[in-house]
Amino acid sequence: MENKILVEISARHVHLSDADLEVLFGKGHKLHNLKELSQPGQFATEERVSVKGPKGQMDRVIVLGPTRPETQVELSATDARSLGINTEIRMSGDTKGTAGATLIGPAGSVDLDHGVIIAKRHIHVTPDEAKGYGIEDGETVSLKIDTDQRSLIFGDVVVRVNENFSAAVHIDTDEGNAASIPGSTMGTIIK
C-alpha cells in the first residue's frame, strides 16, 4: 500500500456525557445527527454550545455525537489562549488533570473542572490498514503534507489502531492553517 492517507482538519468541538447533555439542552434531550463524519458511528450534530474561559467566550461550538462517558472539549492552541484556558496537548479521552471551562447551552450551564484539551495529532486506521502502512498502534510517525503554498512535515503523529476506525489523520485548525489546507488533503506517512 502506498503511504498516502486522508488528512482532515478537526475544528473545535465538544463531546458531551448524557448527564451534561440533559443539563445543557433539557431532560430527555437526544442529539440530532446533522452529518456523518469519516470515523464510523461519529457524527456532527445540530446542537451548539458556548465555551467560556477566564478571558472570553466562544459561541456556537459544535457538539459531536454520540455521547461519551465523560464530557471533553477539544480546542486549538489559539482557541485556548484566546479563552484564557491553560491546557495541554493530549490524546482524546486523556483528560485527567487538564483545565476546565464553562459550557453554556439553551437550558443551562455546566462548570467543568477538567476536560479541555488540545488534541494531539493522530492517525486512525484499522488493523489491516495499519499492516498495509507498516505502522502499529501507539507508534509515533511523521506526516508530509504537500500543498501549493506551504508544504511541511508534522512530527509526533500518534497511530491509533481499532477495528472500528477508517483511515484518516486528524489535525487541528492551527496545524491545518500552517499548511494552508482548505479542509482536507492527502498526506504521506513517514516512518
User: What pLDDT is stored for residue 182 in this prediction?
Assistant: 82
Q: Are residues 36 and 111 in the same domain?
A: yes
Q: Are residues 104 and 127 in the same domain?
A: no
Q: Would you say residue 3 lies in a domain?
A: no
Q: Are residues 68 and 113 in the same domain?
A: yes
- For residue 133, the domain's CATH number is 2.40.40.20
Q: Are residues 43 and 101 in the same domain?
A: yes
Of the residues 100, 119, 138, which one is the last residue of a structural domain?
A: 119
Q: Do 34 and 46 contact (CB within 8 A), yes or no?
A: yes
Of the residues 119, 137, 163, which one is the last residue of a structural domain?
A: 119
Q: Into how many domains does the chain fold?
A: 2
User: What pLDDT is stored for residue 158 in this prediction?
Assistant: 98
H or E stretch including 80? helix 77-83
**Averages of pLDDT over each 10 residues, the chain, 191 residues:** 88 98 98 96 97 98 98 98 97 96 98 98 97 96 90 96 96 95 91 88
Tell me the CA distances in angstroms from 56 to 124, 150, 181, one per residue in order. Answer: 33, 31, 27
β-bridge partners, 123: 159, 169
Q: Are residues 137 and 106 in the same domain?
A: no
Of the residues 65, 95, 119, which one is the last residue of a structural domain?
A: 119
Structural domain range at position 42: 11-119
Residue with cell 473545535: 12
Phi, then psi, of 161 in degrees rounded to 5? -115, 130
Q: Would you say residue 148 lies in a domain?
A: yes
Q: Are residues 132 and 97 in the same domain?
A: no
Q: Are residues 125 and 91 in the same domain?
A: no
Q: In the chain, what's the furthest Cα-to-Cα distance? A: 49
User: What pLDDT is stored for residue 44 in this prediction?
Assistant: 97
Q: Are residues 102 and 115 in the same domain?
A: yes
Q: Would you say residue 2 lies in a domain?
A: no
Q: Would you say residue 6 lies in a domain?
A: no
Q: Are residues 65 and 15 in the same domain?
A: yes
Q: Would you say residue 76 lies in a domain?
A: yes
